[in-house]
Amino acid sequence: MRVPAALPAVGAIAAVLAACNLPGDVGYVEIRTVPASAASAPPLYLDTVKLEPFRKGSTVLTQRVGTAKLAAEFGGGHLAALCEIVIRKNRITTVTVSVLERPPRCQCQNGGAADPSRGRLCVS
């Protein structure tokens, strides 16, 4: 019995596509607002997804590994970029957003020890 030449190529393509969606390639982002009860806090967006209002001033999200942009909505749906967050595999990156400052400001930190060779975790 002869195996068609395209069959190994189809198997290789399927393996590559399966590797793109590995469930282990995620990290976590904790977003805190200061002060926690700021009623005038603008709506926040992570990339293009609008975040629900936070309970007690914080939320934890599961995100794909890479860089995500945190933005705030101002006046009539205009988005203003606050910072870029580096999301690492199996790590928690904490972002504190000071909503009393105009414009709001980000401060990021990683739950593990700082490693200067890996670059900054947050770019404002």
pLDDT per residue as tens digits for the range 84-113: 999 999 899 999 988 777 777 888 876 554
- What integer best gives the mean pLDDT of the chain? 75
Higher-scoring residue by pLDDT: 23, 55: 55
What are 75-86's pLDDT values in tens digits?
777 888 999 999
pTM of the model: 0.68
| CATH no. of 23-123 | 2.60.40
Q: Does the pLDDT at position 6 exceed 60?
A: no
pLDDT tens-digit readout, 46-68? 998 999 888 888 899 999 999 99
So what's the pLDDT on residue 23?
Answer: 57
Secondary structure string (H, E, C) spanning the chain: CCCCCHHHHHHHHHHHHHHHCCCCCEEEEEEEEECCCCCCCCCEEECCEECCCCECCEEEEEEECEEEEEEEEECCCEEEEEEEEEECCCCEEEEEEECCCCCCEEEEEECCCCCHHHCCCEEC
